Structure formats: structure tokens, C-alpha cells
Amino acid sequence: MSSSPPPGVAPGTDADAGKREHWSGQTAFILAAIGSAVGLGNIWRFPGQAFENGGGAFMIPYLVALVTAGIPILFLEMGIGHRFRGSAPLAMHRVTRRGEWVGWFHVAICFVIGLYYTVIIAWALSYFYFSFGLDYADDPGGFFLGDYLQLGEAGSLTFDVVPGVALPLVLIWGLTILVLALGLHNGVERLNVIGIPLLVVTFGMLAVRAVTLPGAADGIEALFTPDFSALTDPDVWVAAYGQVFFSLSLAYGVMITYASYRRRRSNVTGPALVVAFGNSSFSLLAGLAVFGALGFLATQEGVSVADLEGIGGVSLSFVTFPAVIAQMPAGWFFGALFFASLVLAGLTSLISIMQTISAAFQDKFGWDPRRTAVTVGIVSAILSVIGFSTTTGLYLLDTVDQWSNQLGIVAGAIAMIGAALWIGRRGTELRRHLSAVSTFRLGRSWLVLVNVVALLLVYMFVSKAVSLATEGYADLPTWYVLVFGWGTVAFLALVAVVMPMLRWRRDVEHPDIWPTHEQLELEP
């Protein structure tokens, strides 16, 4: 922390104290940010991605992506939130008068993702319950797609709600709405302060068991055996950058929002590093646990790990892992631990997604936090049940995810960097701000890196857009791809265009909430 506060802000106080909610302290902030970062992306996405993209060799692009893009963009987002003190649209509006739409674009992505991220948590909740009776043990694949999801035909659309999916989904939404309604301090913060340590315990126990199973070493070896030829494949690099962005919740407006609840004069980059390394460590732990377990399964079945089916995608957690559990001594217990971990990790991420949406509406219209949270939650819950708990929900989930998460998010990241550094020209200001409040100074190289990352993101965006436009996706019919794939992008764009046209609540520029730039100006 630097010695003197910015002029106009009394030492140790916040100009906006009393108006904006705050984390109770640094630990709470770190746990909440880790809660957002550590999610389904670590437990199930990371191991599959690593395995598919060069095994041990994937660690190289992954670490490069973490250091060159993950950490610098995390600094940028937290810097924007902390300096400009607002939800994504408000902070971006303060960055530049032409930046508000970027924040709404992020909020729209959060809204879309929230609708189906919840569904996966709901599956995990069901599977937690099934673990006690080992219902899925006889035929994990048939059980998941048939008995449980009652999956219909690909590329079709039904509104046949599957009660077994809808019920846990409603429960998850109810819990989410409750936590949001309790407020930042009593709800969101408490969930993370309890949930994250608990997750470390449940997943830690599971990991210890998994790596001590017979055959575990073979699985871990399969994960880490490097295929160096993968390093020359641009898709592997794109996958690594994509994984880092998703996993650190970057370019969703989440980290802007969370950092805006940090007190004005408080360390930002230090906690950001803790979050980044904590998150990657968790991914690595998950890699060891999941592949240890797969090594065991392969040994039991007398095949090699590479010949196992269903290592990537949805089936890893809901088909392949249940097959492991079925063969494990005391499998029900470890099954329960695994699915409880998924629920915990998912819930703390989901809360960050929903808080980002709710904060945006509170800032824009001056709405009451509780009522906003409940309204946003109920609208999302209804759409989520109607769209994704049906017999064709899985296909919809997969399609919407491709376009919003793989394409939308890259556009959102480019737009954020462009608005902050190229249009708003806030680079030096943010660098000074972060250096002044944090434990270490950021050099100019930080800004250079962020600019380079932006160029890389443009490449990623173009290559993904071209492949989706020319090759379609997963053999789905054209109408389906147009409506639910490109339609999702159109929705994101529509929100980004329309929301900035609406008027801000009147006091948004009021100095009680927002000290003038002169007041905030820090010594160089």
C-alpha cells in the first residue's frame, strides 16, 4: 500500500462507504474470487482438455497462457473494477463513455451461461443422491443418457420437461436466489467462506484416494506423457488460452464486479496472484485425481487408459467417473464426495455469475439489491427449466455453450481491452492505480502483454468464427445452428446495443459514489 491516500479521500475511508456493499476483508475477497474461478472448469474440463491436447505437453501452452494472458487480464479486470468501482456496465461506462455496451455484453454472456451452468450442477446434485444407492453402477452410459436425461433426438426441440432433472434444478435455483437475496456480505461471502474450505476437504479426500488406487500411476502417466508434436498445432494453443480464460472467469465481468466490492485502498494484484495460482493448483489436483481414477478403471478392465472411452466432455464426469465408482471399494462414499465437490465448486461459480448480472441492474437503475437478485434469479430459473431440463436440453446446452462461451467470450475480451486501452486510453492510469494500492509495482511490460494478447484473441475469434460458419457444429441441422448458435450471438449483441440506450439512475455520477477523476488522481 502506498503511504498517502488519493486527495479527496480521507485515509482509511471510502468515499462511497455506506453506499456500496463491501467484502469484509482480503481473505473474503480472495475466497470469493477463488470460488468463482474454481468450478466445473477445473474438475472436469481441465483434465479432459489436457488429455486431448497433448497430455503432459499441454502444460507448456497452459502455463504460457496463464502467464501471458490469464494473469495480465486478471490484473486488468480487477484494476477496472477497483478503480472505477462498479458492476461491469458502470465500470466500463466510467472507463469511457463509449464503453458501457461492453459491460452489458459481459452481463448477457453471464445470463446465458447461468441458464445452463446450473443444469450441470443439478445433474451433479442428482448424482450425489444416486451415489448412496449406486443407481448408476450397472450401466453408467445407459443410465445417464437414457434413465436420467431421457435424451431425445439430436437437432430437435421438445418441451418435455424431465422431472428428475427439473427437481434438482429448481432446488439449485432456490438456493442461489436465497444466497443472492441475503446480500453480498451475508450471502455471497458466507457461501464462499464456508464452501471453498469445504471443497478443499471433500476433493482433497477424494484425490488422496484416487491416486492410491491400484493402477493410478498408469493414469497419471497417461495424462502427463508429453506429445510434443501437439505444440505445433495452433488449436492446442487456442484450447489452452480458452481454458485459462474460462477457468479464471475472465471477460465475463465477474472479476470487475468482485473487485469493485473491495475497499478503495486495498491490495489488488497480490490477491489476484493468489487466485490465479490457487486456481491452477486446483486444476492440477483435479487432473491427478481424475486420471488416477481412470488408471484404476483401465487396470480393472485390462485396457490402456488411452483406449478408455468418454474421457472428454460431459461423459467424463457423468459416465466414466461413475464407472470408476462402480468398481471401487466403498465406491458410494467416493461417488458422494466427487459429486458433492462438483456441486460446491459449481455453486460458488454460479453465484459469481448471478451477482454480476444483479449488480449491473442495481447500478443502472438504482434498484434494491434484494429485489433485483430475486427478480434476476426467478427469470433465469424459469428459462433454465424450460430450455434445459427437457429431453433435448443436452443438445441445446452444448450448442449455446459453443457460441457464447467459445465465440462470445473472445469477442467480449477483445472489446474490453479495446475500450480500456485503445479508446479510453486508461492503460497508464490503471497501471499506476494498481501499483499504488498493491504490494508490487506493475511495469510497462504488463500493458505490452495485454496488447499482444488482444491480437492473439482476434486470431482466435476469426478462426473459431470461420470454423463454426463453414463447418457447422456437431452435425446439427442448419436451422438449429442458426437459431440457437448464431441466435445466441444475436441475443448478446442485442443486449449490448439496447441497454446503453436506457437512462442511468440519476445519482450515478454523484461524487458520493464516484469521486471526480481529479480526486482519484494518484501520484505518478
In contact, 320 and 308? CB cutoff 8 Å: yes
Residue 49 CB, nearest distance to ligand PHE (Å)? 11
Is the Cα torsion angle 68, 72, 77, 80 positive or negative in sign?
A: negative
49 binds ligand PHE (CB under 6 A): no
Judged by CB under 6 A, which stretch of 74-82, 243-251, 411-419, 472-480 contacts ligand PHE?
A: 243-251
249 binds ligand PHE (CB under 6 A): yes
Where b means 16+ CB within 10 Å and e means fewer, 25-63 reads: eeebbbbbbbbbbbbbbbbbbbbbbbbbbbbbbbbbbbe
| Phi, then psi, of 161 in degrees rounded to 5 | -70, 135
254 binds ligand PHE (CB under 6 A): yes
484-513 footprint of ligand PHE as x/- string (CB under 6 A): ------------------------------
In 3-state terms, what secondary structure has residue 158?
Answer: coil
In 3-state terms, what secondary structure has residue 400?
Answer: helix
Cα(117)–Cα(136) distance, integer angstroms: 22
Rank residues 276 and 454 by Cβ distance to ligand PHE and give the closer one: 276
In this structure, the dihedral spanned by the alpha carbons of residues 118, 120, 122 and 128, taken in order and rounded to 10 degrees, is -140
**Residues 35, 36, 70, 215: which binds ligand PHE (CB under 6 A)?**
36
**Residues 28, 30, 33, 40: which binds ligand PHE (CB under 6 A)?**
40
**Residues 23, 101, 173, 246: which binds ligand PHE (CB under 6 A)?**
246
Rank residues 42 and 299 by Cβ distance to ligand PHE and give the closer one: 42
Rank residues 349 and 389 by Cβ distance to ligand PHE and give the closer one: 349
In contact, 447 and 364? CB cutoff 8 Å: no
Rank residues 254 and 476 by Cβ distance to ligand PHE and give the closer one: 254
Judged by CB under 6 A, which stretch of 17-25, 38-46, 309-317, 422-430 contacts ligand PHE?
A: 38-46
342-361 footprint of ligand PHE as x/- string (CB under 6 A): -------x--xx--------
Tell me which residue has cell 461491469: 88
Alpha helices in 302-392 (DSSP H): 313-315, 321-327, 331-365, 369-388
Cα(305)–Cα(310) distance, integer angstroms: 11
Cα(479)–Cα(275) distance, integer angstroms: 41
In contact, 240 and 58? CB cutoff 8 Å: yes
CA 329, 331, 335 angle in degrees (round to 5)? 155
Where b means 16+ CB within 10 Å and e means fewer, 364-381 reads: beebebeebbbebbeebb
Rank residues 349 and 392 by Cβ distance to ligand PHE and give the closer one: 349
207 binds ligand PHE (CB under 6 A): no
Rank residues 42 and 320 by Cβ distance to ligand PHE and give the closer one: 42
For the chain, the residue count is 524
Amino acid at 38: V
Rank residues 131 and 247 by Cβ distance to ligand PHE and give the closer one: 247
280 binds ligand PHE (CB under 6 A): no
Q: Please, which of residues 410-469 interact with ligand PHE by CB under 6 A?
A: none
Residue 41 CB, nearest distance to ligand PHE (Å)? 2
Rank residues 80 and 353 by Cβ distance to ligand PHE and give the closer one: 353
252 binds ligand PHE (CB under 6 A): yes
130 binds ligand PHE (CB under 6 A): no
Number of residues that bind ligand PHE (CB under 6 A): 14
37 binds ligand PHE (CB under 6 A): yes
Residues that bind ligand PHE (CB under 6 A): 36-37, 39-42, 246-247, 249, 252, 254, 349, 352-353
